[in-house]
């Protein structure tokens, strides 16, 4: 009798615990969140810490040139509307992906830049991972350095964050792994000598030593999908933007590091 009562109490406690916590048990508590920066060797951290050693700054420099370039059908440079990039773009990257009312879906920073090009400059969109698109994205992203991420706070984005979360939890590919299997459950371990990390999107676009180039968050996500032998979504696919959005909401409050350096 006493035993049965103890079991009932335990069951109630477990049920109450689950109901009280809005997050699934596997999610990283806010205090335990760590940027990929903290997993790196001191030498790699030193490259990121100094702007004249950080190769990502080469793209930022090119972005500054592009910002003032008005060689497009509308004859309008980014600077003609947005003026000083340091003032107008501060904090912008911390809010992306953001909801676009005309498209009724979230767009990431690269897509926003391309929408600006097609809507206001009458120019052709830049290709994903092209030098110029990365340069402009890095320039805009850099203005938010140190700004706390506030991705996914817009109520209109709620269903898309939920879709991104579902994708993050979804097992896929020949290895049948979800993002969460590594980046929530095993981020403190190693995979073939490399830190797994939490998959925090704080530094994109970032310079990866392995890529020997700057790359976007979508490039990173696609590499991960190839790694688990899943068919990666195409660049710009709504699913990738939803994943980006979920990652940004998961990293709320963490500071932007763009352009970061990773091994």
Partner 1 sequence: MPSALINVPAKATRGETIEIKTLMSHPMETGYRRTATGELIPRNIITSFACRYNGVEIFRADLYPAIAANPFITFFTVATESGKFDFEWIGDQGFSETASAAITVA
Q: Give CA 195 to chain center in angstroms.
A: 18
Nearer to partner 1, 63 or 199 (CB): 63
Considering the complex, what minimum distance in angstroms separates the CB of residue 23 from partner 1?
Answer: 41
9, 16, 26, 51: residue in contact with partner 1 (rule CB under 8 A): 51
Which residue number, 59 or 246, has a Cβ lying nearer to partner 1? Answer: 59
How far apart are CB 47 and partner 1 at their closest, in Å? 8
Count the alpha carbons within 13 Å of 18 in the hemisphere toward its beta carbon: 5
Return the number of the residue (62 or 257) whose C-beta is nearest partner 1.
Answer: 62
User: Between the CA of residue 125 and those of 62, 100, 110, 133, 190, what are the distances in Å?
Assistant: 18, 17, 10, 9, 39
User: Per-residue contact track with partner 1, 82 to 121, x per CB under 8 A?
Assistant: ----------------------------------------
* Rounded Cα distance, 251 and 151, in Å: 8
Contact 197, 183 (CB under 8 A): yes
- Nearer to partner 1 among residue 51 and residue 188 (C-beta): 51
The residues near 258 (Cβ < 8 Å, ≥ 6 apart) are 56, 93, 138, 141, 142, 144, 145, 203, 204, 205, 206
Tell me how far, at minimum, the Cβ of 166 lies from partner 1, in Å.
Answer: 34
The DSSP secondary-structure symbol of 99 reads: E
In the structure encoding, which two tokens stand for residue 95, read together?
Answer: 């809010």
| CB atoms inside a 10 Å sphere around CB 137 | 28
Q: What is the x/- site pattern for partner 1, positions 205-244, by CB under 8 A?
A: ----x--xx-------------------------------
Of the candidate spans 48-56, 89-97, 158-166, 232-240, the one that interacts with partner 1 by CB under 8 A turns out to be 48-56
Residue 217's contacts (CB-CB under 8 Å, 6 or more residues apart) are: 108, 201, 204, 205, 244, 247
User: C-beta of 97: minimal distance to partner 1 in Å?
Assistant: 29
Can you tell me which of 34, 55, 123, 162 binds partner 1, judged by CB under 8 A?
Answer: 55
Among 12, 61, 74, 103, binds partner 1 (CB under 8 A): 61
- Least spacing, CB of residue 259 vs partner 1, in Å: 12
Mark whether 81 is an active-site residue.
Answer: no
- By CB under 8 A, name the one of 35, 37, 39, 57 that touches partner 1: 57
Cβ–Cβ contacts within 10 Å for residue 224, how many? 18
- How do 194-195 and 190-191 pair as beta strands? antiparallel
DSSP 123: P
The verdict on 53 binding partner 1 (CB under 8 A) reads yes
Residue 72 interacts with partner 1 (CB under 8 A)?
no
Look at the block and give the residue holding tokens 């107008």: 88
Residue with structure tokens 């190839």? Answer: 226
Positions in the binding site for partner 1 (CB under 8 A) = 47, 50-53, 55, 57-58, 61-62, 65, 209, 212-213
Q: Which residues are catalytic?
A: 224
């Amino acid at each position: 009798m006493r035993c049965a009562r103890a079991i009932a109490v335990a069951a109630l406690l477990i049920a109450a615990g689950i109901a009280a916590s809005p997050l699934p048990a596997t999610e990283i508590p806010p205090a335990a969140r760590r940027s990929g920066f903290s997993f790196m060797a001191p030498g790699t951290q030193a490259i990121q810490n100094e702007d004249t050693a950080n190769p990502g700054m080469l793209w930022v420099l090119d972005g500054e040139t592009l910002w003032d370039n008005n060689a497009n059908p509308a004859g309008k440079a980014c600077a003609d509307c947005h003026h000083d990039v340091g003032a107008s773009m501060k904090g912008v990257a911390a809010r992306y992906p953001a909801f676009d009312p005309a498209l009724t879906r979230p767009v990431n920073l690269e897509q926003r830049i391309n929408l600006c090009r097609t809507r206001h400059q009458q120019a052709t969109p830049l290709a994903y991972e092209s030098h110029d698109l990365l340069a402009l994205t890095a320039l805009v992203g850099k203005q938010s350095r140190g700004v706390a991420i506030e991705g996914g706070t817009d109520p209109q984005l709620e269903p898309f964050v939920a879709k991104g979360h579902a994708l993050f939890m979804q097992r896929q590919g020949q290895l049948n792994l979800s993002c969460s299997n590594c980046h929530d459950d095993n981020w403190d371990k190693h995979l073939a000598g490399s830190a797994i990390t939490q998959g925090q999107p704080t530094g994109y676009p970032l310079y990866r030593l392995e890529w020997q180039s700057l790359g976007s968050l979508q490039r990173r996500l696609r590499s991960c999908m190839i790694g688990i032998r899943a068919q990666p979504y195409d660049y710009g696919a709504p699913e990738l933007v939803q994943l980006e959005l979920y990652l940004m909401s998961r990293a709320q409050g963490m500071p932007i590091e763009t352009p970061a350096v990773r091994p």
